[in-house]
Amino acid sequence: MLSAEDLTALWVTLQLAAVSTVLLLLLATPLAWWLSQTAARGRVLVEALVTLPLVLPPTVLGFYLLLLLGPEGAVGGTLERIGVGHLAFSFSGLVVGSMVYSLPFVVQPLQNAFAATGARLFDVAATLRASPLDRFLTIALPLARRGYLTAAVLAFAHTLGEFGVIIMLGGNIPGETRVASIAIYNHVESLDYGAAHALALTLVVLSLSLLTLVYAVNRRARAVGVPG
Amino acid sequence: MTIEARFALQQGEFRLDVDLTLPGEGVTVIYGTSGAGKSTLLRCVAGLERAAQGALSVNGAEWQREGLFLPVHRRPLGVVFQEASLFPHLSGAGNLRYGLQRTPAHERRIAWDEVVQLLDIEPLLARYPQTYSGGERQRIALARALLASPQLLLLDEPLAALDDARKAEILPFLEQLRARFAVPMLYVTHSLREVARLADYLVLLEAGRVVAQGPLQSVLSRLDLPLAAAEDAGVVIEAEVAEHDTQWHLSRLIFSGGSLWVARCAEPVGSRLRCRVLARDVSLARERNEQSSIVNLLQADVVELAPTDSPAHVLVRLDANGTSLLARITCQSQARLGVQPGERFWLQIKSVALLR
Q: Is A227 on the interface with B (CB under 8 A)?
A: yes
Tens digit of each residue's pLDDT (9 = 90 or more) over A146-193: 899 999 999 999 998 888 899 888 778 888 888 889 899 999 999 999
Domain positions in chain B: 2-220, 234-354
Q: Kindly list the residues of chain B whose beta carbon comes within 8 Å of any beta carbon in chain A.
A: 46, 48, 71-79, 81, 83, 85, 87-89, 98-99, 102-103, 130, 144-145, 148, 154
Q: Band of the pLDDT at A1, cuts 50, 70, 90?
A: confident
HSE-CB of B355 using CA atoms within 13 angstroms: 25
Q: Which of B72, B87, B103 sits opposite A126 (nearest CB)?
A: B72
Contact A228 B89 (CB under 8 A): yes
Q: How far apart are CA B215 and CA B217, in angstroms?
A: 6
Q: Is A228 on the interface with B (CB under 8 A)?
A: yes
CATH number of the domain residue A104 falls in: 1.10.3720.10
Contact B73 A127 (CB under 8 A): yes
Report the SS3 class of residue B64. strand
Contact A134 B98 (CB under 8 A): no
Contact B102 A126 (CB under 8 A): no
Contact A125 B71 (CB under 8 A): no
Q: Using the predicted structure, report yes or no on whether residue A84 has a pLDDT greater than 50.
A: yes
Average pLDDT, chain A: 88
Q: Which of B73, B101, B138 is the best mutation test for A, with the most CBs of A within 10 A?
A: B73
Q: How far apart are CA B1 and CA B7, in angstroms?
A: 20
pLDDT in tens, chain B (356 residues): 899 999 999 988 899 999 999 999 899 999 988 888 999 999 999 999 888 889 999 998 999 998 899 999 999 999 999 886 899 999 999 999 999 999 999 989 888 998 998 888 999 999 999 999 888 999 999 999 999 999 999 999 988 888 888 888 888 888 888 888 889 999 999 888 888 888 999 999 999 999 999 998 888 888 888 777 777 788 889 899 999 999 999 999 999 988 999 988 888 898 888 888 999 999 999 988 888 888 899 999 999 998 888 899 999 999 999 899 999 999 999 999 999 999 999 999 988 888 87
Question: What was the pLDDT predicted at A227?
Answer: 46
Contact A127 B77 (CB under 8 A): yes
Q: Say whether B234-354 and B2-220 share the same fold.
A: no
Question: What was the pLDDT predicted at A221?
Answer: 67
DSSP H helices in chain A: 4-37, 43-55, 58-69, 74-81, 91-117, 119-127, 132-135, 141-143, 145-160, 164-168, 180-189, 193-224
What is the assigned CATH class of domain B234-354?
Answer: mainly beta
How many residues appear in chain B? 356
**Are A166 and A179 contacting, i.e. CB atoms less than 8 angstroms apart?**
yes
Q: How far apart are CA B220 and CA A157, in angstroms?
A: 68
Q: Nearest residue on chain B to A126, judged by CA atoms?
A: B73
Question: What was the pLDDT predicted at B230?
Answer: 73
Task: Write out chain B residues lying below 8 Å of A227, CB-based.
Answer: 88-89, 130
Long-range contacts (CB closer than 8 Å, 24 or more residues apart) made by B294-298: B294/B348, B294/B349, B294/B350, B295/B250, B295/B261, B296/B260, B296/B261, B296/B347, B296/B348, B296/B349, B296/B350, B296/B352, B297/B346, B297/B347, B297/B348, B297/B349, B298/B257, B298/B258, B298/B260, B298/B325, B298/B346, B298/B347, B298/B349
How many angstroms separate the first and last alpha carbons of chain B?
28
Question: What was the pLDDT predicted at A223?
Answer: 55
Q: How far is B99 from chain A (nearest CA, A)?
A: 5
Task: Write out chain B residues lying below 8 Å of A132, CB-based.
Answer: 73
At what angle are helices B164-180 and B134-147 packed, to 10 degrees? 20
Q: Is A126 on the interface with B (CB under 8 A)?
A: yes
DSSP letter (8 states) at residue A6: H
The residues, ordered by sequence, that sit 6+ positions from B187 with a Cβ below 8 Å of its Cβ are B27, B28, B29, B30, B155, B158, B194, B198, B199
Task: Write out chain B residues lying below 8 Å of A228, CB-based.
Answer: 88-89
Q: Of B324, B239, B141, B79, whose CA–CA distance to A126 is shortest?
A: B79
At what angle are helices A4-37 and A145-160 packed, to 10 degrees? 140
Q: How far is A129 from chain B (nearest CA, A)?
A: 4
Q: Using the predicted structure, report yes or no on whether residue A228 has a pLDDT greater than 50.
A: no
Residue A51: what residue type?
Answer: T
DSSP letter (8 states) at residue B230: S
Domain total for chain A?
1
Q: How far apart are CA B329 and CA B109, in angstroms?
A: 51
Tens digit of each residue's pLDDT (9 = 90 or more) over B22-79: 999 899 999 988 888 999 999 999 999 888 889 999 998 999 998 899 999 999 999 9
Q: How far apart are CA B42 and CA B50, in angstroms?
A: 13
Q: What percentage of chain A exceeds 90 in pLDDT? A: 53
The domain containing residue A90 runs over which residues?
4-224
Q: Is A72 on the interface with B (CB under 8 A)?
A: no
Q: Using the predicted structure, report yes or no on whether residue A225 has a pLDDT greater than 50.
A: no
Contact B98 A131 (CB under 8 A): no
Tens digit of each residue's pLDDT (9 = 90 or more) over B115-146: 998 888 999 999 999 999 888 999 999 999 99
Question: What was the pLDDT predicted at B344?
Answer: 93
Question: What was the pLDDT predicted at B98?
Answer: 95
Question: What was the pLDDT predicted at A98?
Answer: 92
Q: Band of the pLDDT at A2, cuts 50, 70, 90?
A: confident
Pick the CATH number of B2-220 from 3.40.50.300, 3.30.70.270, 3.40.190.10, 3.30.70.260: 3.40.50.300
Contact A127 B145 (CB under 8 A): yes
Q: Band of the pLDDT at A42, cuts 50, 70, 90?
A: confident
Q: How far apart are CA B114 and CA A182, in angstroms?
A: 68
Q: Is A19 on the interface with B (CB under 8 A)?
A: no
